[in-house]
Structure 1
Amino acid sequence: MAGLPSAITVYEVGPRDGLQNEAEPVPTAVKAELVRRLLAAGLPVVEATSFVHPRWVPQLADAGELLDTLAGDLGDAARDLPVLVPNERGLDRALERGCRHVAVFGSATETFAQRNLNRSWDQQFAMFAPVVERALAAGADVRAYVSMCFGDPWEGDVDPDRVVETGQRLLAMGATQLSLGDTIGVGTAGQVGDLVRRFVAAGTPVDRLALHFHDTYGQALANVLAGLLAGVTTYDASAGGLGGCPYAESATGNLATEDLLWFCRGLGIDTGVDLDAVVAASAWLADARGRPSPSAVVRALTG
């Protein structure tokens, strides 16, 4: 197809976003092995965990233990695994372990900001500002997520201009990349292209944008295609299609890494990732969890 990039970056979020919504916490040793397998498959970025308070996301209560385990396996390279930091305390814990890549998680809507961050939409920026400033001063880069970019389970359709304003405020703080999330999976290809064009028209370089899709309505890969045609070359995905959001019950699984890799292979787009190795990692994790993988490609290649 004309107008597509020759290569993209797959930003693996499975160990963090994929496992945060599990009914029961996954053992630290299993998480560490998953990270190792995904790195060995050639994924260039693997987001490891989140330094969120255990009361809010008990599935990630072992964040420090996990990074310590990975440091023993990977040495200094473990410091390059991104981690989510919801606030300054989370940043403190990440910097104590020498993390070089951190992320903050904002909201495009008022209601989700209140439910997820216990802040108003406007107040969230005051919370993030010192996190970003201190992270940059410590030599770390900062990724910013924007959730509810296309629809919100409480507010309905989301004004794309509000999404652009949210993202630009986070970039102005010093975030190096902005991941636009369809948290509940209601976005369509037309909306995706429109939102990317609005960001570009507002002065945001397209190479600063990433896209994060959920497959609730089966639209994730169509939305990827719209993003590719709009010039976006970084896509979040979760091995095996795991994930959701503990504060948005209608958020189902993330776009499966394997489905994205298969899709890109068919389009002749290079990812640098070994599809078979990712499938094997997801099949191994499915066995460890005692449940089949949600990924269509995993089921097809292992069935």
Structure 2
Amino acid sequence: MIEYRAAVKRFGVQTAVDAITVSIGRGEAVALLGPNGSGKTTTLKMAAGLIRPDAGDVLVGEPAFRPWEPSARRVLSYLPQRVAFPEALTGREIVEFYRRLRGIPAERSQAVLKFASLNGAGERAVGTYSGGMVQRLGLAVAMLPEADLLLLDEPTAALDPDGLRAFYALVEQRQAAGRTIFFTSHQVGDVERLADRFLVLANGRLVAELSQAALRDCLAARGTMRVRLDRDTPGLLEAIRRIAPSASRVGDEIVIAGAASLRPQVLDLVRSSGAQIRGLVAEDGRLEALYRELVARGAEHTE
């Protein structure tokens, strides 16, 4: 559904996107992560056809089109990072305007207002909306066409809890229908449960690409395990340190940092020692910390 082929975008002497090559398939939900200024919005705008690459290529749809070609407008819908609507109009009037502009059946208006949790506020002027409600209205407009490809720039940035629930439901619904969602974020906690794949940008370059399975493995490897025993068993800590050098004793617990994936081996050693396990806690690493590590590592390689 989306293919970047060594895509480059420059603004004057500044390279905003530096030779990105990646493909996103039908039905995938892919999160593009990165700090402010890393090139996320520029990358998304190229897929939306709002700007063209200076080198390389970008293709969308099946069959593939360049996104700035008129044919591509049938397959994609785009939500910009900052949305603004005439404050004197009601939410329903805004949705109706965009529905008529794109020739979409009338019943879609009520459906998207309800889905975005705005059906009760549809008759109110947009000027009375909170920031989160304006963002939800933007989501409602983006949902109108039921496009095969949905491009969302920082969709969770201003969302309140109702808006987040609506966004989660949107992603799940679109995936179930075989549609593709490509969205940006710098708030990794909001998107951890949503994406099939995570792309990380730093200084305009793609520095990491992780599937959900790879992400789980990375987080497990960075996790912490705490084993509380019924007694101190001589030699057990030293045996565990042979496979997990970070192991330490804290009170009646053995604490192993960065090795939650070694749980089966550690438990075998404990059982062999004759000690009884009184408590066991295994915590995966935090996505936020992994994200910062990937960005920092990528920034070092791109400077």
TM-score (norm 2): 0.38
Name the structure with the higher strand share.
2
Structure label with greater radius of gyration: 2
Specify which structure has the higher proportion of helix. Answer: 1
TM-score (norm 1): 0.38
